[in-house]
Structure 1
Amino acid sequence: MQTEKVIDHIVNWLKTYAVNARMDGFVIGISGGIDSAVTSALCAKTGIRTLCVEMPIHQAPNQVSRGREHIQLLKEKFANVSNTEVNLTSVFEQFKNEVPQTGEDSFLDLSLANTRARLRMTTLYYFAGVHRYLVAGTGNKVEDFGVGFYTKYGDGGVDLSPIADLMKSEVYKLGEALSIPDSILKAAPTDGLFGDSRSDEDQLGASYDELEWAMKTMEAGKNGSDFSGRQKLVFEIYKRLNRANQHKMTPIPVCEIPKHLK
């Protein structure tokens, strides 16, 4: 990959989109992870106003410190970058108090985790509306179009997706070129939605490198019938997640009314 040229391409794409949309800037949720760090750095390089928003909900201290380190470095480098923090912990707790917490524990935990992501989406769109900004998505190709590892109408609710055509490994290459802090580059990827130390790999059952391999293999037309051991397991994980999360990756179904009924 021609990393520097890819960076220039994305930055120009962002700038052109914002100008054509007649919007005044970008807003990005900062998590302390590589995807939001790279996305915010790319937005900053446009020279257009870029607002970095921290939205902790019972967040682990190391995630918070990584995000703040990145934001500080961005602000030192780019005059167009600003930041704010909205602590959503009390909002989340109030929500929990108002809804019945019944059903299987695993479903309840997942529903509450997705609620965190949706509260953050609502917050980002608040700032987008106030400032006439675009919400920049932070999903990469494996997450958005491979295994659907994001929250529908949460971190999946965005105006544009600058890095969604890049594999996770490619995002890391951009991160190195953009001088993203080592604390972020070396941290285990996590969505931070469950309030514990589980990583993305813990949830998915495979690493991003393995899932990239499976995605490319499936795109090449292979069905995995000749795989064995770990390769077979990873390929089955990928196929299962890809199939289960198609509802996120395909357009919302519309019931089309026959003309003779109208």
Structure 2
Amino acid sequence: MQTQKVIDHIVNWLKDYAVKANVKGYVIGVSGGVDSGVVSTLCAMTGLKVLTLEMPIRQQKDQISRAQEHIAFLKNKFENVDGFTVDLNEPFEALYKSFDVNDEEFPNEKLAFANTRSRLRMLSLYYYGQINGLLVCGTGNKVEDFGIGFYTKYGDGGVDISPIADLYKTEIYELAKALDLPESIKNAIPTDGLWDAERTDEMQIGATYPELEKIQKEWGTKTESDYSGRDLEVFKIFSRMNKAAQHKINPIPVCDIPEEWRD
């Protein structure tokens, strides 16, 4: 990949979009992962105002330290970047107590609360975005957003703009290297950070991003019968998750009313 051309293209695209939208810049949630690390850096390179937020909710210590390290890295390198921590533990615990759901009666309770974390962060980003005249910048990649739908609807999927959604995870790691991000960010193991116990993306999905990318690049041109062994296993994972994620990937359906019924 021609990384410098891609970097310049995204930076110019981000700057042009903000100028046309008549906003001051972008607000981004920084998790300590490579996606948010790359996106926040690209936003900073526009020269526009950039606000980076770390929003811990029952967070693993290594995720907190990486996020804080990256925010410090950006603030030291770019004068247009500001950033701080918004501790969301207390409001999350209040929600947890208020909902009072029994996970024995509702098996999806743990997943629902994992997604609630993401939605609480989205709410926070839009609050700080609105009071500062900033757009919320997304950090989803191509596999997550358009392959298997590995994101929270109206959580990390609730954004104004998606600068890296046409890039595969392996390509984002290339950009991280070219941008010379902190080693902890460049080497971060992908995780959504939504669970009390550490759950990497690979543990949750059952496949690595390179494995998923292979299937997505061939999606629509090959069928299940074209695969065997591990590739077949990953194809089935991708197919199942892609089918289940159509409500995320496609626009919200609207029930059309026949014009003749309006008379």
**Fold match by TM threshold 0.5:** yes
Distance 2:235 2:136 in 1: 33
Distance 2:96 2:78 in 1: 39
Q: Which segments of 5 or more consecutive residues in structure 1 lack a partner in the other structure?
A: none
Distance 2:216 2:46 in 1: 31
1:54 aligns with 2:54: yes
Encode CA deviations 1:92-125: one digit per residue, 9 max, x unaligned.
1100111131355640010000000000000000
User: Matched residue of 2:227: which SS?
Assistant: coil
Encode CA deviations 1:176-210: one digit per residue, 9 max, x unaligned.
01111111221210001012111000000000000
Matches within 5 A, 1:93-112: 93-103=93-103, 104=105, 106-112=107-113
Instruction: Give the letter aligned to residue 205 of structure 2.
Output: L
2:27 corresponds to: 27
1:192 aligns with 2:193: yes
Distance 2:151 2:35 in 1: 12
Encode CA deviations 1:68-99: one digit per residue, 9 max, x unaligned.
11111111110000002110011011001111
Encode CA deviations 1:37-95: one digit per residue, 9 max, x unaligned.
00000000000000000100010110010011111111111000000211001101100
Matches within 5 A, 1:196-215: 196-215=197-216
2:129 corresponds to: 128
TM value normalised by structure 1: 0.98
For these two proteins, the number of residue pairs brought into alignment is: 261
Q: Which segments of 5 or more consecutive residues in structure 2 lack a partner in the other structure?
A: none
How far is the alpha carbon of 1:250 from its aligned partner?
0.2
Encode CA deviations 1:209-237: one digit per residue, 9 max, x unaligned.
00000101214x10120321111000110
- Let me know the Cα RMSD of the aligned residues: 1.0
How far is the alpha carbon of 1:245 from its aligned partner?
0.4
TM value normalised by structure 2: 0.97
1:6 corresponds to: 6
Instruction: Give the letter aligned to residue 76 of structure 1.
Output: N
User: Matched residue of 1:225: which SS?
Assistant: helix
Distance 2:82 2:183 in 1: 22
Matches within 5 A, 1:139-178: 139-178=140-179
Distance 1:100 1:84 in 2: 31
Distance 1:106 1:9 in 2: 45
